A = this chain, B = another copy of it.
Amino acid sequence: MTRVLITGAAGMIGARLARRLIAGGVIAGRPVTAMLATDVVASDLPGAAFPVIAEAADISDPATAMRLAAFRADVVFHLAAIVSGEAEADLDKGYRINLDGTRQLLDALRHAGVQPRFVFASSIAVFGGPFPDIIPDDFSPQPLTSYGMQKLAGELLVSDLSRRGLIDGVALRLPTICVRPGLPNKAASGFFSGIIREPLAGKTALLPVPDGTVHTHASPRSAIGFLLHAAALDTGKLGPRRAVTLPGVAVSVGEQIEALRRVAGDAAVARITRAPDAMVARIVSGWPTRFEARRARALGFEAENDFDAIIRAHLEDEHGGVVPA
């Protein structure tokens, strides 16, 4: 008897999570008995062995929060969010969706007397520079974007309400997800995926930053694994601080390229064109690079061990495990 609510269910991660649960039918070792998947557009989901409701809803509308709470979920994956760039460009929208949306959903659950495992998708954007070489778990989060601020406020809500026993929350500080499938986007971080995804699809990709640029990545597959592990976690081990900085693979862009060469050969690498972009380089230079993530590893959160594995995961998930000709 496990009822699952997913917000942001039409997003890259949300849709994969929903499909994984539909295919497996199990969460935290128990059968899924019903799923409510919501986003600004209704998710297109396959048939399941249990009732699945996919609906379009505005998470910033208090009436939506009350309706979602009435579903009485045992596990909530709260993934709905305005992404970093948009939250910076549209301040009202970012606060409305990322902060008020989270606040209202938690309020509605509380007023409905629903006390679920609440898995919140936070982000390494809660951290702002200057950074040490490797960010330890106790590094003070001081965001330098509105998105990071909103995610941190969400973490604080999750920890406070968990401390009070009103939810049983886990806030996951996700690293950059790579290789993102789909079309290239305009996110400043897009090239990290683009330089792998596009060459593997036989297309060219531009690299706007120096080869020495270091960043931490986890595959979409690992992201789903993080979420499912959080749903099953013994939260007694977390104590009152419910935010966890997750592990990933820290590599330089040059190391990403050499991994691509090992997995897919010189022809793939030849499709990458260096096109330095000072603005992108400046934005990326303000991002954290490596994380210690000791606490997450001790709690059993697992990412890939190297970037080759991230590329192979992408090939398996998007290309049937074969390097395209």
Give the B-binding residues of A (Cβ under 8 A).
91, 128, 138-144, 146, 149, 152-153, 156-157, 159-160, 163-164, 166, 240-241
Contacts and interface: CB of A to CB of B under 8 A. Distances in A.
A240 B91 contact: no
24 contacts: A91-B164, A91-B166, A128-B240, A138-B140, A139-B140, A140-B140, A140-B141, A142-B159, A142-B240, A142-B241, A143-B156, A143-B159, A143-B160, A144-B163, A144-B240, A146-B160, A146-B164, A149-B156, A149-B157, A149-B159, A149-B160, A152-B156, A153-B153, A153-B156
A140 B159 CA distance: 14
A115 B40 CA distance: 33
Interface centre among A144, A153, A156 (most CB of B within 10 A): A156
Counting from the closest, the 8 A-B pairs by CB-CB distance are A140-B140, A149-B160, A149-B156, A153-B153, A146-B160, A142-B241, A138-B140, A153-B156
A262 to B, nearest CB: 39
A23 to B, nearest CB: 38
Contacts of A163: 144
Nearest to A152: B156
The A contact surface, by secondary structure, is: loop
Nearest to A136: B140
Nearest to A147: B160
A166 B95 CA distance: 14
A88 B141 CA distance: 24
Contacts of A153: 153, 156
* Among A160, A163, A164, A241: residue with most chain B CB under 10 A: A160
Nearest to A156: B149
A191 B143 CA distance: 37
A142 to B, nearest CB: 5
A51 B3 CA distance: 60
Contacts of A140: 138-141
A141 B241 CA distance: 11
Contacts of A152: 156
A207 B241 CA distance: 32
Nearest to A243: B142
A156 to B, nearest CB: 5
A80 B89 CA distance: 31
A103 to B, nearest CB: 8
Given A144-B163, A153-B153, 6 more contacts: A128-B240, A139-B140, A143-B156, A143-B159, A146-B160, A152-B156
